[in-house]
Structure 1
Amino acid sequence: MVKESKIRNLIFCVCCPKLSFILKLYQRYQARKENIKMHRPLKIGVGCGIMLTCMTIFGFVAFPNLIKAKIKAMVNLKEGTDVRDIYLKLPFPLMFKIYPFNLTNPDEVVKGAKPILKEVGPYVFEEWREKVLIAENEIDDTMTFYAKETFIYRQDLSGGLTGNEIITIPHPLIMAIALTVIREKPAMISLVTKALNSIFSQPQTPFLTATVNQIFFDGIIINCTVTDFPGKALCTELKTEAKQLQVVADKIYKFSLMGAKNGSATEKFKVKRGIQNYKETGRLLEYNDQAELTIWGSKECNQFRGTEGTIFPALPIPKADIPSFAYPLCRVVDAKYDSKTKYDGIPVNKYVADFGDQSSNPDDKCYCPSQDECMKKGALDLRKCAGPIVVTLPHFLDADPEYQNGVTGMNPDKDIHQLHILFEANSGSPLSARNRIQFNFPLMKIDKLKFLKDVPEVLVPLFWVEESIDLQRDLTGPIKMLYTAKTVVKILTWLSIVASIGGLSYAGYITIKKGHEVEITPVKAGSTKNDNISMVLSNNDKGHVNHAMSDNEINNRF
């Protein structure tokens, strides 16, 4: 028995160090494995956090600022830039449409009947715009130029209309002379009556019957070879004041509504180039060498705001008014935000404009012809600017019902007659525009003129025009690419954010789950190995030497 006990102890003494070494090695492996499991959620969380931060900064800060910086660098009138080239000379024409109103009952109107009107047209023209006689000042970053407009008739787009169609309208020259004198110098009305009889050969009506071409471009002959004093005096005044007169021969002129303007450069502008400050691009400083107007009732209405209408500020404040100076109207017109829509698949902001309400809006009262004489809603009297003409939107859209009810033949339609412009929502680039204005003559009773003493006092439409532009696909392409890039970056940014939040949530869940787990190593009954190990340990308590390897020895061996 003693011998067997010694043999057994010898075996344990030989085997226990090896068993102890294997046990410790296994324990270290398990610890390292658990450590790796514990660090995996941390790594996932850190990675997702970095991705979330980077994509948020790139998608919502860096990329939009990069786009804005690119737009700011491009939007100025620096020599050699595309913006300047297009600004100085449009590479494509605007479409210009004229819709005259034919007065069908002129003889009855002279006797007091309500005017009956029929719209004719459209007569479609190409309008080519160019800025000429350009001068620049590098120091104050300004540019001076004259605006030139050329109209080319497009019969193929005019529905077969030739321009030789005969229509009847209020006579622009006779009506302008009569209204101006009765308002400003009523004591001279008798003298002017004699002058009109001399120049226009005893006119019996305040209306003009002629072809559309004659009225708008070819001209009506004005014979100033008269020798009587009233006629000569009036002709001298006409030569000085009437911009629409063209010289035919000595003392013989022709008058048209647009002929003198066609192909001429008479309007002078001074604007900011925007090289030093992109927000200043195109801002109007002077018009015909004037720093502000002098015709309206307040300094605010006489001041220039915005551009001269052929360029607009980049990156405008969302939904803020966009002003521009409309020189034919001698005033600034504010385009007001209306709605969001799309143009050629590009998100745009729609802006609309009208002529305000002088009867109720204090800000519009400065445009009243006099303090005690204001137009009703939707009308603007241009007697201080371009003669006794009143402008409204076509067919008296959004105007006081009194104007529409004063005549027969008006059918206002917002889709056809509204003045609007579409701006790309991000850069502020204008993509499409409809500039629509109606010109009207006020009929007024004048006892000293027999053809006006019985007329109804109403506003009679002469014609309305539509000036339109729609950027073609070759010009909207870069904007669509910009929009597509912004859309792709936005989608990728949000996908990355969602994925990062999902990863962070998963890492947090795993960490919390591990924190609540307690590992218990099951002990099997009758385990020989554990019994033997326990026996060795108990033998060590009895004085036996345990030859199991220490941690240092394990590390040295392996």
Structure 2
Amino acid sequence: MASLRCVSCIAIFSLLISCIFVIIGIIGIALGPRIMQNQINKQLPLTADSDQLAGWSTPPVPIYLQFWLWECTNPAEVVRGGKPTVFQRGPFTYLEHRNKAGVYFNENYTVTYRQVISYTFLRNMSAEDESVKITMVNTPIVTIVSLIRNQSNITQEIFNFVKDIYKETLFVNRTAGEWIWGYEDPLLKAARSIPILKDLIPDDHFGYFYGSNGTDDGLYTVFTGGNDITVLNHINKWNGVSSLPYWRTPWGNQINGTDGSWFPPLINKDLQSERLYLYSTDICRSLYAKFERHSSVLNIPTELFSIPSEVFLNSTLNPDNIAFGTTDSGVLDVSVCRQGAPIYISLPHLLYAADQYKDRIEGIAPNADIHRTVLEVEPHTGLVLSAQKRLQINVFLQREELIYDFKNIAEVILPAIWINESTTIDQKSADDLNNQVLRYFTIIRWVSIVLIPVGIILFITTLVLLKKRRSKDESTPLLYAGSSNTIASDHDY
């Protein structure tokens, strides 16, 4: 009897364990990822002592900035009214150093900082040395002509006189480094010495990224995510304001999203309708990326987002873009935030631009695979594991009867320089992310998957063994009874 009772206790315990395995497995599959994500969400917000503060302040992975300069190969023909033929030179590659300075945590779940950025030239990753000379459109003279276009004839004649003294022409030859980082322009310097022109010209240096090496692009205040993880790293204010003064509508002037380096987690969101907003000081506006497909970076599952062509459509095709002027699709007039310089922003090679712009240039070859902006985001943390952020700076040329070199030129948006700011997580960082965060999702998933069949097998096995045991126990007393009767009969004889 004691043996039977012990077997029953073991069977009950085994059945209980099997049920627990199945229940834990089901809970693990149904709720495990959500529980893990909640734990991650508690760790993601930025604080003065958070683990991710160092990586946020100084990115541990290399960031590269590459420049391609558009050389004009037929400047004389352009001056006579011909179609420009351009040829891209580059890349000229620089290692980008980022460091957030003056970090201050505010009481309203925001943090304020300046991001200081400097660059180091990488000859081994560049097609040519930055000292190579390239013939490009003389943007300083184009800028001055644009600024004095509505001034008096006397002002224009004075400029013509100064321009002739310095023998300035529509196209000039400068080194790649000068075109990128700047040089003192003699015409700008001379024009600033003339009282009637001084107020129109803010600086006597020119470079497409003049003043950008070793400086910051403004004072940022972003949300830490401490009270709402869905706004983690979203910009609250830039240079003390939450909206811009440049565009035509309040919507267009809104500063939306992040700086593009880190987004809130994407888990439990409808990726097909999700928009990742980011604000770019380069184009003086916010824009968004849309989900394209699932991807992976160093075997880490990611979601690939890209900036869609609809962002660049004209206001007829995309009414939201009425805020950004009346240009046709593919280009954005940013002269309002470039001190009046006739600068237009597009994607490289005028990708997604209207035919009227592309048809006026020879030498461009737009290709969405290599000229668009793409971001690969790890969905549990919102970290951008790989990014290719691309844009092109163009100069708007138009005829001006009173200025020599501008009398016969055809109206054209002329490509000047295009950039690719890229980064991809390294193997060490990928391993750290896996070991500290992502592997626990894998562990929970596989443990849950294993527990359910193990529990079911254990439950069935226990029932089978218990049934066999009971069958044996039921038949044993009959055998014993038969044996006793036989022995008793023998003694009678």
Give the TM-score taking structure 2 as reference length.
0.84
Shift in Å, 1:281:
3.0
The SS at the match of 1:475 is helix
Which residue of structure 2 lines up, in the alignment, with residue 115 of structure 1?
84
Q: Does 1:216 align with 2:170?
A: no
Amino acid at match of 1:144: T
| Amino acid corresponding to residue 90 of structure 1 in structure 2 | P
1:488 to 443, 466, 469: 443
**What pairs up with 1:18-417 in 2 under 5 angstroms?**
46-62=16-32, 64-69=34-39, 71-91=40-60, 93-137=62-106, 139-159=107-127, 161-182=128-149, 185=150, 188=151, 190-201=153-164, 205-223=169-187, 226=190, 231-239=194-202, 245=203, 253-265=204-216, 267-315=218-266, 317-319=269-271, 320-354=274-308, 355-369=311-325, 373-376=326-329, 378-386=330-338, 387-417=341-371
How much has 1:511 moved relative to structure 2? 10
Q: Residues 392 and 417 of structure 2 are in contact (CA less than 8 Å); yes or no, is this contact kept in structure 1?
A: yes
Larger-gyration structure (1/2): 1
Write the letter of the residue equivalent to 2:139.
P
Provide the residue aligned with 1:418 in structure 2: 372
Whether the aligned pair in 1 keeps the contact of 2:232 and 2:264 (CA below 8 Å) is yes
- How far apart are 1:149 and its partner, in Å? 1.6
Aligned partner of 1:197: which letter? Answer: N
Q: Note closer, same or farther for the CA distance 1:233–1:77 as it changes in structure 2 (3 Å cut).
A: farther
CA contact (8 A) 1:220 1:256 kept: no
Moved more, 453-462 or 117-126: 453-462
Inter-CA distance 426–215: structure 2 relative to 1 (3 Å threshold) = same
Question: How far apart are residue 361 of structure 1 and its match?
Answer: 3.9
Q: After superposition, give the CA deviation of every residue in 1:359-395 in whole Å (9 maximum; x if it has no partner).
A: 44445323332xxx2321x322212222422211111
Pair 192,364 (structure 1): closer, same or farther in 2 beyond 3 Å:
farther
Deviation, structure 1 residue 95: 0.8
Which amino acid in the other structure matches residue 345 of structure 1? N
Sort the Cα spacing of 1:501 and 1:414 in 2 relative to 1 into closer, same or farther, 3 A: farther
* Aligned residue pairs, count: 477
- CA–CA distance in structure 1, aligned partners of residues 438 and 71 of structure 2: 47
Offset of 1:484 from its aligned partner?
3.1
- Conservation of the 8 A alpha-carbon contact between 2:37 and 2:380: no
Which amino acid in 1 is paired with 2:264? Answer: P
Q: Determine helix, strand or coil for the equivalent of 2:185.
A: strand
SS in 2 for 1:374: coil
- 1:328 to partner: Cα distance: 1.7
- Return the offset for 1:127: 1.4
Coordinate RMSD, CA, aligned:
3.6
The one-letter code of the counterpart of 1:350 is L
Matched to 1:179, the amino acid is S
Deviations along 1:452-491, whole A, 9 cap, x unmatched? 2322223211010111111212211122223333223212
Residue in structure 1 matched with residue 491 of structure 2 by the alignment:
none
Identical positions, percent: 21
CA 204–111 in structure 1, closer or farther in 2 if over 3 Å, else same:
farther
Q: CA deviation at 1:59?
A: 4.3
Secondary structure of 2:369 counterpart: helix
Question: Is there any run of 5+ residues in structure 1 with no aligned partner, and where?
Answer: 1-27, 240-244, 246-252, 534-558
Q: In 2, Cα distance between the equivalents of 1:178 and 1:513? A: 100
**SS of alignment partner, residue 497 of structure 1:** helix
Alpha-carbon distance between aligned partners in 2 of 1:520 and 1:146, rounded to the nearest angstrom: 86
Look up the equivalent residue of 2:170 and give its one-letter code: P
Q: Deviations over 1:79-131 (max 9, x none)?
A: 13342223233345421111001110011112222211111111111111222
CA distance in 2, matches of 1:435, 1:528: 92
Distance across 2 between alignment mates of 1:115 and 1:77: 50
Cα deviations by residue, 1:185-214 (Å, 9 ceiling, x for unpaired) = 3xx263453243244336674223222122
Q: What is the identity, as a one-letter code, of the residue corresponding to 2:73?
A: T
Q: Is the 8 A contact 2:69 2:89 kept in 1?
A: yes
Superposed CA offset, 1:517-558 (max 9, x none): xx999x9xxx9998999xxxxxxxxxxxxxxxxxxxxxxxxx
Letter in 2 for 1:61: L
1:530-541 equivalent positions in 2, closer than 5 A: none
Separation of aligned partners in 2, 1:234 and 1:39: 100
Do the aligned partners of residues 92 and 340 (structure 1) sit closer, same or farther apart at CA in structure 2, a change above 3 Å counting?
closer
1:13-41 C-alpha deviation (Å, 9 max, x unpaired): xxxxxxxxxxxxxxx99xx97x9999998
- Quick one: which amino acid aligns to residue 268 of structure 1? L
Task: Give the distance between the partners of 1:179 and 1:284, measured in 2 at CA.
Answer: 34
The higher relative CO (CA closer than 8 Å, separation ≥ 6) is in 2
CA contact (8 A) 1:112 1:454 kept: yes
